[in-house]
Amino acid sequence: MNLISQTRKILEKPRERDKKKDTFWCSESETMLFEIYHRWKGTKPSNPIKAEAQVLMNAGKMMEEALVEQWVAAGAVQKSEEQIHIRMDRLGVPISGYIDALHVDGYPIEVKTFYGYWQQKQLEQGKARESYLKQLAIYMDALDQDKGKLFYMERGNGKMFEFTLHRINEKQFLCGDIGFNLHDTYQRWQDLYTNHILPSQEPEPDYLYKIPPSQIDWSKASKADIKKARANQKVIGEHAWAINYSGYKDLILQRQGVEPGYTVEELIEIKKYSEAFK
């Protein structure tokens, strides 16, 4: 076996700690409830992550871990398994996670690598991803810290960004102009845990895969999206990104009784309702 094959075999494997689920993960603050439920119940994904995507994900994680090791060597952070792994209950809900690093002053640091112009542009505008900030806030809550750091590195050009998250009070957190109430996340999980996970009652999918053409406000759709929809190259729905990249996309569509893409009848309606805005 050559080195490429050996490396792919290593990087295509799911991380061991991700196999069994008996808690809410700190990284699931904005994950669809339908998806969390099926992860918890061990439902086999209808759309498992592709090998190429798993390789990129694990390679990015290895880059993050290597960066932390350099910080450890430089004396900037402390690290041990006892400090890094957290497990706690909030509102009767079990929560767990793995903190990337602890600063020598005791506050948590979350490290993310990324690639691409769009995300770099967002970061240059001071817009960190809110789900990452909420993940960091949960770590801060677990450690009873009033500050945390979110660190980004671009995998292609090495550009770095750093954001400081502050705890304002027991519930409120603030990073620049991004603020949120962390208890909203805990309450969202509590509802899913109490009303669905414990009694094994599947929740409804969080979003519609496709909005009926007659209900779309075509005046607010971009010309690019209208052109793609008319050519059946894009479906206009609620939070399309979340559904399209879900491991349970086909199951969501099955529950909603729809097929991927548009039917002939739907395309006729789309052309009718979007004609004035194409």
Give tens-digit pLDDT for 206-224: 999 999 999 999 999 999 9
Distance CA 202, CA 195 (A): 9
So what's the pLDDT on residue 41?
96
32 part of a folded domain? yes
Residues 49 and 124 both lie in one domain: yes
Residues 137 and 242 both lie in one domain: no
What is the extent of the structural domain holding 80? Answer: 3-197
In the listed set 167, 197, 227, which residue is the last one of a domain according to the structure? 197
Read off the pLDDT band of 83 (50, 70, 90). Answer: low
Residues 182 and 243 both lie in one domain: no
Q: Which of 68, 63, 50, 39 is nearest to 8 (CA)?
A: 50
Consecutive H or E run containing 174: strand 172-175
**Res 18 pLDDT > 70:** no
Residues 253 and 193 both lie in one domain: no
**Res 19 pLDDT > 80:** no
The pLDDT tens digits for 57-74 are 888 888 998 999 999 999
205 part of a folded domain? no
Q: Which amino acid is at 170?
A: E
**Res 87 pLDDT > 70:** yes
User: What is the number of domains present in the chain?
Assistant: 2
User: Who contacts 31 (Cβ-Cβ below 8 Å, separation ≥6)?
Assistant: none
Q: Which of 173, 171, 155, 172 is nearest to 163 (CA)?
A: 173
179 part of a folded domain? yes
The pLDDT tens digits for 221-246 are 999 999 999 999 999 999 888 999 99
Distance CA 16, CA 169 (A): 35
Residues 43 and 140 both lie in one domain: yes
208 part of a folded domain? no
203 part of a folded domain? no
In the listed set 197, 225, 240, which residue is the last one of a domain according to the structure? 197
Residues 161 and 263 both lie in one domain: no
18 part of a folded domain? yes
248 part of a folded domain? yes
pTM to 2 decimals? 0.90
Residues 165 and 257 both lie in one domain: no
Do residues 147 and 140 lie in contact, with contact meaning Cβ atoms separated by under 8 Å? Answer: yes
Read off the CATH number of the domain in which 129 is found. Answer: 3.90.320.10
Tokens 């991927």 -> residue: 260
